[in-house]
């Protein structure tokens, strides 16, 4: 969940990877897994909005 939250906060896979101390490719893999599991691709702007709203409601 940290990968998604940080990606949504930064809007950039590279920035999120730096913040988390991950290799950018590792973060992209995690984003693909999130897309596979949720059927929402965080790299797509509209789907990212849906995930961000769900995250906000979930808190």
The candidate with the shortest Cα–Cα distance to 25, out of 39, 12, 14, is 14
Domains of the chain: total: 1
CATH number at residue 20: 1.10.10.2840
Query: Which residue range(s) make up the domain with 26?
Result: 2-58
Instruction: Indicate the average pLDDT of the chain.
Output: 94
In Å, what is the CA distance from 44 to each residue of 24, 34, 59?
17, 12, 22
For the entire predicted model, the pTM comes to: 0.85
pLDDT in tens, 9-30: 999 999 999 999 999 999 999 9
pLDDT of the residue at 1: 84
The arithmetic mean of pLDDT across residues 2-6, rounded, is 95
């Amino acid at each position: 969940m940290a990968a998604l939250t940080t990606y949504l906060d930064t809007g950039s896979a590279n920035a999120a990877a730096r913040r988390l101390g991950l290799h950018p490719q590792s973060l992209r893999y995690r984003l693909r897994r999130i897309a596979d599991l949720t059927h929402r691709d965080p790299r797509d702007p509209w789907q990212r909005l849906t995930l961000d709203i769900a995250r906000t409601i979930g808190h």
